[in-house]
Amino acid sequence: MLLILSLIFATVGYVLFNYHRARQRVLNIRSHFGGPDVHYFFGNLQMFFGKSIPEIFEIVSGIHDIHGEDLVIIGPFNELILDLSSSKNVEKVLLAKSIRKSFAYDFIEPWLGKGLLISTGEKWFQRRKIITPTFHFKMLENFLEVFNSEADILVSKLKRHAGKVEFDIYDYITLYALDSICATSMGVQIHAQDDPQNEYVIAVKQMSTFIIRRIFSVLRNFPSLFFLYPYAKEQKQVILKLHNFTNSVIDSRRKILEQEKADNKVAFDISEEDMYSKRKLTFLDLLLNVTIEGQPLSREDIREEVDTFMFEGHDTTTSGISFTMWNLAKYQDVQQRLYEEVIRVLGKDQTTKQLTNMQIQQLEYLDMVVKESLRLMPPVPFIGRSLVEDMEINGITIPAGTTITIKIYNIHRNPKVWPEPKKFDPERFSKSNESTRGPYDYIPFSAGSRNCIGQRYAMMELKVTLIKLLANYKVLPGESMANMKVKTDLVLRPDTVIPIKLLER
């Protein structure tokens, strides 16, 4: 018995000694950055115990106001996390050749698989190469027809609220964006704007909440214990709904292509030089027809890319459009100047017709307004990376395996770069002001090789939507707007609603 007790004490002592030694290494790195006080075992995770998702967002975004641009957060059991919001160090990380997505993306994998968002190495390179043609500028011009028609539907749906009490714009924009991504990139009409209780939209919100809760869990480093989470069973059911929806979209488009082929309407050749102008190639068409080393993509390969683009193609643009409307409601002078530009450039009658890319490009103030809104409220406020190799930052070696959080939200509010950073001022993006900033002071679509492939798509959709809405309605703040809080799970969202009022022009 004495021998057994001695062995137990020796083992515990050895484990604690190594734990303490590892802790000293982490604290040494922290001394080069600063950061909040830490618990011996739970690290900084204790700051989030019992907090709501909006409160968590306030903590993780506000921590830089106290401890500086770059700091160290220590997770449970000496987990080292580097929080960066200085453009100098962010640039170093995003341009690194040996880097991958952080652990948080592992929690998305059961839903999105190893699609373009999560995949690495050769698989990522192949998928990026395959998908890039569907965002060719000529393809984007083809998408304008969809953006115009879906935005017109949105305008008509909102008419019931004109001249009445406040309402939530966010849900309307969500359904509009989902219709748009399905029609443009999937070639399928799903009529989400006629279905306010759309199951896919509800499931995305549920899944996003599950993921953020897991990121701030003590057990996050033990994936085999996921069954202990109270929502583990529910998450499986939600993922099944999401996959069933995307499978139905894939099957619908496959049937359309097969019918077109049977009717001899389509001669599909992705190598043809005039592919972009010859036919309306969609993202899903390409996935269904492409081969890698002579083999077509499997059903799972196709679904993981469709899942990724269905989510990213509607949730991020929803955030961008909705918060721009929120800012225009708050800043009536900006809204009026933008409305006057739209009428001056397009004419009052022209705004009800099909908008062209050439017309949109003439609206310089619109471009400034959209960029400023994406600065203040970037749809993806934080992104995560993990070092594959050691890297020198702030004069000390950061070991491989370290998680790095890049705080886009805080980069965009750095008072050294953006005077009065909380003020909504589109003039920051005038040509003269833009030239004074560095390329990593403003990264709403990330940067480097893993930047957002759909950023031009998103900007075009944003602009068409805003033109159509402002041409038809004056946007006013709802009475409860002062109480609105924001949160982030996978994208930046309102805690509950974005309350606005509309007046018909």
Instruction: Determine the straight-line distance between the first and last CA of the chain, rounded to whole angstroms.
Output: 87
Q: Is residue 444 part of a domain?
A: yes
Is 93's pLDDT higher than 90?
yes
Rounded to whole angstroms, the Cα distance separating 284 from 289 reads: 9
**Does residue 8 lie in a domain region?**
no
Q: Establish if 44 belongs to a structural domain.
A: no
Is the Cβ–Cβ distance between 485 and 495 less than 8 Å?
Answer: yes
Q: Is the pLDDT of residue 485 over 70?
A: yes
Q: Which of 13-17, 82-86, 154-158 has the lowest mean pLDDT?
A: 13-17
Written as six digits, the tokens of 497 are 């609603």
**Alpha helices of 266-331 — where are they, by DSSP H?**
275-278, 283-289, 299-330
What pLDDT score was predicted for residue 266?
57
Residue 9 has pLDDT above 60, yes or no: yes
pLDDT in tens, 218-256: 888 788 889 889 999 999 999 999 999 999 999 999 888
Give pLDDT, residue 280: 61
Contact 22, 399 (CB under 8 A): no
Burial class (CB in 10 A: 0-12, 13-18, 19+), 432: exposed
pLDDT more than 70, % of the chain: 96
pLDDT score recorded for residue 125: 86
Share the mean pLDDT of the chain: 90
Q: How far apart are CA 500 and CA 505, in angstroms?
A: 16
Residue 47 lies in a domain: no
Q: Does residue 277 have a pLDDT over 80?
A: no
Whether the pLDDT of residue 480 is over 60: the answer is yes
Position 13 in a domain? no
Q: Average of pLDDT values for 370-383? A: 97
Q: What beta strand segments (E) does 23-177 contain?
A: 71-75, 79-84, 99-101, 167-168
Query: Is residue 73 exposed (0-12), middle (13-18) or buried (19+ Cβ within 10 Å)?
Result: buried
Task: Tell me how far apart the alpha carbons of residues 505 and 503 are, in angstroms, rounded to a whole number.
Answer: 6
Q: What is the mean pLDDT of residues 9-26?
A: 83
What are 145-178's pLDDT values in tens digits?
999 999 999 999 999 999 999 999 999 999 999 9
Q: Are 131 and 283 in contact (CB under 8 A)?
A: yes
**Beta strand 486-488 pairing with 492-494:** antiparallel
155 lies in some domain: yes
What number of CA atoms fall less than 13 Å from residue 101's CA on the CB side? 21
- Higher-pLDDT residue of 234 and 141 is 234
Q: What is the pLDDT of residue 265?
A: 61
- Indicate whether 273 pLDDT > 70: no
Cα(174)–Cα(322) distance, integer angstroms: 9
As for how many domains the chain has, the answer is 1
Beta strand pairing call for 79-84 and 403-407: parallel
- Structure confidence at residue 267 as a pLDDT band (50, 70, 90): low
Distance of CA 243 to the CA centre of its chain: 20
CATH number where 200 lies:
1.10.630.10
Q: What is the pLDDT of residue 351?
A: 67
Decide: helix, strand or coil at residue 398: strand
- Is the pLDDT at 270 greater than 70? The verdict is no
* Other beta carbons within 10 Å of 60: 22
- State phi, psi for 341 to the nearest 5 degrees: -65, -45
Instruction: Judge whether 9 lies within some domain.
Output: no
d(CA 254, CA 288): 8
Q: What is the pLDDT of residues 287-315, one digit of tens each?
A: 888 877 778 888 899 999 999 999 998 99
| H-state helical runs in 362-402 | 364-376
Task: Select from 485, 480, 498 the least CA-distant residue to 173.
Answer: 498
**Structural domain of residue 293, as residue ranges?**
85-504
Instruction: Indicate the pLDDT class of residue 276, thresholds 50, 70 and 90.
Output: very low
Cβ(376)–Cβ(442) below 8 Å: no
Question: CB under 8 Å to 97, separation ≥6 — which residues?
Answer: none
In a domain, 6, yes or no: no
User: For 330-349, how does the pLDDT look when each residue is reduced to its tens digit (9 = 90+)?
Assistant: 999 999 999 999 999 998 77
Say yes or no to pLDDT of 71 above 90. yes
Residue 319 has pLDDT above 50, yes or no: yes
Residues pairing with 474 in the sheet:
503
| Neighbour tally for 226: CB within 10 Å | 16
pLDDT given for residue 406 in this prediction: 96
pLDDT above 90 as % of the chain: 62
